[in-house]
């Protein structure tokens, strides 16, 4: 008897118009070289169309949205594996209600994003961009260098909104800098915070006491515009804000005003409320903000790690196992989900 192959679909955005891979460091060979697995790319469309997934067991999702209308009627789809840790483009509740696991890749992004945060912190406090511009002006620029003194970090306070996967790694990497660590996180692991030397405080204290604040929480209805004019007014005028999480966590109009009037020293943003920002967005014209296009952590190693983690989740599902990167733990309370796993584990590919 012929056994139906395990079918894996990938977002159209993983492939360039000429058919080559958008990110060559994403190694698909564990899927393409395995027996009993078929891979295909879905057609361009945002959100993903359900009709493209009717015979698909697993979807690896890049930039497209996966909504309740993306869920195929066949009931075959068992996992949506997000390429990264952000899941605001996925209707997680709809997936759970339809017995679909949602997976993310915390191991793949932990170090790269934490390195990005430190990159922005060191560039901001060292006035790197300003000094780069001064140097290019020649003698006149050198003559002005005393006007752009940086901020030393020993004894300064690094604050974080969130001390999960990335926030904790940020503190690990910052340990040799001699800073004080504080964080706000209602879901914090107390033993982890203690191990890292992080004092857990309320949100007001993070904004009032930090010399550098990093946003390291997911975008949810509760965190939308968590950073607004009121929060920014609590910051020291010498302090910096860094956001590598999700743009809408910060009210960008309020941040722009704070940067314009000098109520904070500066900001480092890898994410924006609208991506890409409009060409005439006023934040693009400010000298006290460093901006990167939601790509600062993008390296060959980062994308190789993310891709490997997604493939591991897909292969776990294929073997009838719970995947390591499972986000919606509630799906494990659903009997139909376990029936899917049982059917998959019983197959011999």
| pLDDT tens track for 120-164 | 999 999 999 999 999 999 999 999 999 999 999 999 999 999 999
Look at residue 219 and tell me whether its pLDDT is greater than 80.
yes
Query: Which pLDDT score, from 0 to 100, does residue 2 have?
Result: 64
Out of 172, 224, 294, 334, which one is annotated catalytic?
294
pLDDT band at 346 (very low <50, low <70, confident <90, very high): confident
38 tagged catalytic: no
Tell me where in the chain the CATH 3.40.50.720 domain(s) lie. 6-104+299-346, 110-291
For residue 88, name the pLDDT band (cuts at 50, 70, 90).
Answer: confident
44 noted as active-site residue: no
Q: Which residue has the tokens 């390291």?
A: 216
Residues 191, 109, 171, 198, CA torsion sign: negative
Contacts of 266 (CB under 8 A, 6+ apart): 124, 240, 241, 259, 288, 289, 290
Is the predicted pLDDT of residue 87 greater than 90, yes or no? no
Convert the pLDDT of each residue in 28-62 to its tens digit.
Answer: 999 999 889 999 999 878 899 999 999 999 999 99
**Backbone φ and ψ of 237, nearest 5°:** -65, -15
Task: Say whether 15 is catalytic.
Answer: no
pLDDT in tens, 249-304: 999 999 999 999 999 999 999 999 999 999 999 999 999 999 999 999 999 999 99
The residue annotated as part of the active site, out of 82, 231, 246, 318, is 246
pLDDT for the residue numbered 200: 98
> What's the chain's average pLDDT?
94
- Single out the catalytic residue among 93, 195, 275, 330: 275
**Which CATH superfamily, name and number, covers 6-104+299-346?**
NAD(P)-binding Rossmann-like Domain (3.40.50.720)
Q: What is the pLDDT of residue 348?
A: 54
Is the domain spanning 110-291 CATH 3.90.1150.10? The answer is no
């Amino acid at each position: 008897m012929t056994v139906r192959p395990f079918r894996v679909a990938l977002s159209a955005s993983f492939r360039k118009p000429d058919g080559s891979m958008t990110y060559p460091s994403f190694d698909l060979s564990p899927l393409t070289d395995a027996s009993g697995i078929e891979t295909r790319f879905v057609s361009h469309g945002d959100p993903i169309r359900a009709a493209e997934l009717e015979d698909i067991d697993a979807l690896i999702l890049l930039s497209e949205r996966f909504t309740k209308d993306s869920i195929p009627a066949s009931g075959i789809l068992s996992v949506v594996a997000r390429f990264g840790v952000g899941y605001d483009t996925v209707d997680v509740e709809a997936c759970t209600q339809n017995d679909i696991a949602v997976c993310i890749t915390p191991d793949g992004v932990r170090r790269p994003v934490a390195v990005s945060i430190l990159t922005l912190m060191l560039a901001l406090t060292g006035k790197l961009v300003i000094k780069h511009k001064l140097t290019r002006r020649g003698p006149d620029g050198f003559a002005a260098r005393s006007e752009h003194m940086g901020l030393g970090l020993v004894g300064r306070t690094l604050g974080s909104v969130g001390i999960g996967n990335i926030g904790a790694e940020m503190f690990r990497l910052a340990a040799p800098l001699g800073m004080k660590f504080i964080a706000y996180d209602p879901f914090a692991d107390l033993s982890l915070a203690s191990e890292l030397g992080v004092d857990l405080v309320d949100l007001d204290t993070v904004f009032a006491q930090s010399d550098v604040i990093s946003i390291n929480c997911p975008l949810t209805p509760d965190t939308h515009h968590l950073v607004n004019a009121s929060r920014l007014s609590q910051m020291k005028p010498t302090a910096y804000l860094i956001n590598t999480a999700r743009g809408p966590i910060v009210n960008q109009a309020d941040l722009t005003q704070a940067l314009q009037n000098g109520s904070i020293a500066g900001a480092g943003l890898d994410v924006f409320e609208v991506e890409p920002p409009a060409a005439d967005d006023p934040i693009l014209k400010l000298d006290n903000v460093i901006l990167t296009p939601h790509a600062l952590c993008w390296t060959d190693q980062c994308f190789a790690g993310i891709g490997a983690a997604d493939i591991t989740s897909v292969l776990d599902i294929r073997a009838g196992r719970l995947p390591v990167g499972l986000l919606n733990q509630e799906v494990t309370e659903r009997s139909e989900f376990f029936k899917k796993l049982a059917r998959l584990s019983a197959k011999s590919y």
